[in-house]
């Protein structure tokens, strides 16, 4: 296999992190193709690091499902179906590469399936104190959106949706909040968010918060569905043009 050119690492600067981050990015970006094989020695030579550093990095990649390492066979890159798609590092590697649109689509579709159900449960289960906090966050979110303060809006939007997931009372929903946040950060990082959110989207956040506070499950779920459906509609015009993964939106 021809060794791909080394890409600038975004890891924490330690040798293991550099090897892990670079190889992970290259695998997720397709620069090292599925089925490709390489040896521990070739990675040692490429990065000029010790065998123990390489082993640690490869163990981490194997735990994420990106590679399979076998004695006398070498290291083989596994297909995407084997990857741990819920791991934040895998998500970030995909967002940083040519699979960005496919990753954003998958995460956005996941939001559409989970968040309305979480809002419905929150309206039934959330304590009044927590619901009051959500109303306050929604108000600050509305103000940040109207003022075009993108950094504040991203922070508050992530907090708002995290609170809804946590208030659902479902611990598995609650643990999905980092994935939801990655959607928001990814759209902002790659210029896929408007400077000023649509007024109706801001109002839907208010509607969700007040519906949860009032215990109105159907209204909370409907407003959350409106948000996720709008996000899907905004993104579909982008991924409908994308042919990198073989999928296009129906027209």
Q: Which CATH code for domain 100-239?
A: 1.20.120.530
Tell me the pLDDT tens digit for each residue of 153-166: 999 999 999 999 99
pLDDT at residue 246 in the model: 39
Residue 209 near residue 138, CB atoms below 8 Å: yes
End-to-end CA distance of the chain: 40
pLDDT at residue 242 in the model: 52
Q: Given the structure tokens 């080394």, which residue do they identify?
A: 6
Is the pLDDT at 129 greater than 90, yes or no? no
Q: Nearest Cα to 23, choosing from 35, 33, 13, 81?
A: 33
User: How many Cα atoms within 13 Å fall on the side-chain side of residue 93?
Assistant: 27
**DSSP-H helix ranges across 150-215:** 150-167, 171-174, 177-189, 199-214
pLDDT grade, residue 234 (50/70/90)? Answer: confident
pLDDT grade, residue 250 (50/70/90)? Answer: very low
Is the pLDDT at 100 greater than 90, yes or no? no
pLDDT at residue 9 in the model: 41
Residue 72, by phi and psi: left (phi above 0), alpha (psi -120 to 50) or beta? left
- pTM of the predicted structure, to 2 decimals: 0.82
Tell me the pLDDT tens digit for each residue of 40-99: 999 999 999 999 999 999 999 999 999 999 887 899 999 999 999 999 999 999 999 988
Q: Which CATH code for domain 1-98?
A: 1.10.10.10
Taking the C-alpha atoms of residue 167 and residue 123, their distance in angstroms, rounded to an integer, is 8
pLDDT at residue 124 in the model: 96
* Residue ranges of domains in the chain: 1-98, 100-239
């Amino acid at each position: 296999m021809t060794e791909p050119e080394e890409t600038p690492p975004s890891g924490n600067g330690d040798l293991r992190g550099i090897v892990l981050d670079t190889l992970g990015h290259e695998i997720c970006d397709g620069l090292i193709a599925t089925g490709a094989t390489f040896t521990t020695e070739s990675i040692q030579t490429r990065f000029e690091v010790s065998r123990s550093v390489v082993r640690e990095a490869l163990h981490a990649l194997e735990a994420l499902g990106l590679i399979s390492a076998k004695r006398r066979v070498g290291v083989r890159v596994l297909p995407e179906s084997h990857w741990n798609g819920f791991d934040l590092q895998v998500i970030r590697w995909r967002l940083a590469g040519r699979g960005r649109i496919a990753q954003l689509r998958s995460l956005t579709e996941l939001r559409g399936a989970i968040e309305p159900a979480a809002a419905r449960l929150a309206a039934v289960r959330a304590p009044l104190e927590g619901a009051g906090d959500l109303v306050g966050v929604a108000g600050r979110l509305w103000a940040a959106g109207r003022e075009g303060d993108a950094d504040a809006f991203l922070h508050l939007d992530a907090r708002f949706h995290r609170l809804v997931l946590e208030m659902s009372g479902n611990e598995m929903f609650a643990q999905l909040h980092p994935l939801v946040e990655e959607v928001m950060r990814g759209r902002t990082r790659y210029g896929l968010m408007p400077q000023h959110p649509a007024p109706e989207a801001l109002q839907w956040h208010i509607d969700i918060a007040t519906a949860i506070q009032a215990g109105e499950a159907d209204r909370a779920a409907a407003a959350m569905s409106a948000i996720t459906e709008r996000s899907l509609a905004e993104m579909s015009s982008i991924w409908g043009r994308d042919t990198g993964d073989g999928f296009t939106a129906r027209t």
